Amino acid sequence: LVFMWKKQTMEHVVHDDEQKGLQKQIVIYFSHVVAENTPKGLAAQKFAELVKEKTNGRVKVEVFPNGSLYSDEEEIDALLRGDVQMIAPSVSKVTQLLPEWQVLDLPFIFESYDDVERAFTGEVGKRLLAMLEKKEMKGLALWGNGFKQMTSNRRLLIEPSDFSGLKFRVMPSEIIEKQFRLLGAKPIVVPFNHVYESLEKHAFDGQENTISNIYSKNFYQFQPYLTISNHGYLGYAVIVNQHFWEKLPKDIQQNIAEAMQETTAWNLNQSRKQNEAELEKMKQNPKMYIYELTKKEQEVWKQKFSPLYDEFEREFGSELLHQIKAE
């Protein structure tokens, strides 16, 4: 069935019924890997509704959640081939194509959701999204999921030494791998779709993710130790296939851009609320041990991660870093 879908997407990007004189309906397949009830899943659905409304049904966005069409390892290639028209991979996954994007993955680069919003919707966001054009992709927006926390099946992770020798699942991203190496841990790249089963089999000892992903995918069932560290931010690049975008009529591009702007504002607000509410739910779970790092403990982590900033600056200069601070 999936094969048929994939074949169909290539041939039916634009459905038309010209013989009957009906207007063309443009179909956008939007593939993502997380659950529906998450900041990204809900934003994708909201975007679909807004696009339908603003285009009077001329554009239909079909959302495929949970990696049901493509995994996170496959989705960028699927977009470039034109098998899907829209994806929203995590920033970490984009760093493989555009290493400057690592700036958003630097630990503790953002202190608050307001910081994130300013950078994502301001000049930094525009500049990063523009880089996607070199890769034949059109970046429409940056969406948020939330701050990342640490989980483990071994112990609470409070001091850097608590990480020593433990295996951590990571997203495919060099900077995230380095982050865990600086803690003396061993990073292992695993696609999001395989995290649950790998945790169940104890293939690794811990992982980092947002409360929303930990909660919606039940990772906490196998990872009872949760440290609220807020050490990194999980954001998304919302991307369309550039050739597809350029072929769209100007008025449709305008409608989509407006729908995206409204959805982004909604998503950034929703992500904050959802992570907070789901943390409260996890706190009610008697099987979980939850610890919030103090400012002092966070400082110790920041010191540990400081070589990542030096490395970034050496490689890419300090402009993006300064711009984030300024915003």
179 binds ligand LMR, rule: CB under 6 A: no
Q: How far apart are CA 217 and CA 94, in angstroms?
A: 22
Which residues in 258-277 contact ligand LMR (CB under 6 A)? Answer: none
> Which residues are within 8 A (CB) of 300 and not within 5 positions of it... i.e. 6 or more apart?
159, 160
Binding-site member from 31, 145, 270, 274 for ligand LMR (CB under 6 A): 145
Q: How far apart are CA 52 and CA 122, in angstroms?
A: 27
Binding characters for ligand LMR, 199-238, by CB under 6 A (x = yes): ----------x---x--------------------x----
Task: State the nearest-atom distance from the C-beta of 104 to ligand LMR, in Å.
Answer: 13
Q: How far apart are CA 205 and CA 46, in angstroms?
A: 36
193 binds ligand LMR, rule: CB under 6 A: no
Binding-site member from 85, 90, 223, 267 for ligand LMR (CB under 6 A): 90
Return the C-alpha torsion angle 124, 130, 136, 139, nearest 10.
Answer: 60
What amino acid occupies position 308? L
Nearer to ligand LMR, 225 or 248 (CB): 225
Do 173 and 92 contact (CB within 8 A), yes or no?
A: yes
151 binds ligand LMR, rule: CB under 6 A: no
183 binds ligand LMR, rule: CB under 6 A: no
Task: Give me the residue whose beta carbon is nearest to ligand LMR.
Answer: 90
Nearer to ligand LMR, 72 or 177 (CB): 72
Q: How far apart are CA 108 and CA 300, in angstroms?
A: 12
Nearer to ligand LMR, 209 or 264 (CB): 209
102 binds ligand LMR, rule: CB under 6 A: no
Nearer to ligand LMR, 26 or 141 (CB): 141
Binding-site member from 33, 44, 248, 279 for ligand LMR (CB under 6 A): 33
Q: How far apart are CA 219 and CA 285, in angstroms?
A: 13
Binding-site member from 171, 199, 259, 293 for ligand LMR (CB under 6 A): 171
* Pair of tokens at residue 163: 């990480």
- Compute the chain's Rg from CA coordinates: 20
Q: How far apart are CA 301 and CA 317, in angstroms?
A: 23
Number of residues that bind ligand LMR (CB under 6 A): 10
- The 10 Å Cβ neighbour count of residue 99 is 15
Nearer to ligand LMR, 59 or 87 (CB): 87
> Distance of CA 40 to CAs 46, 77, 238, 267, 315, Å?
10, 20, 10, 7, 31
Nearer to ligand LMR, 85 or 193 (CB): 193
Q: Which residues bind ligand LMR (CB under 6 A)?
A: 33-34, 72, 90, 145, 171, 192, 209, 213, 234
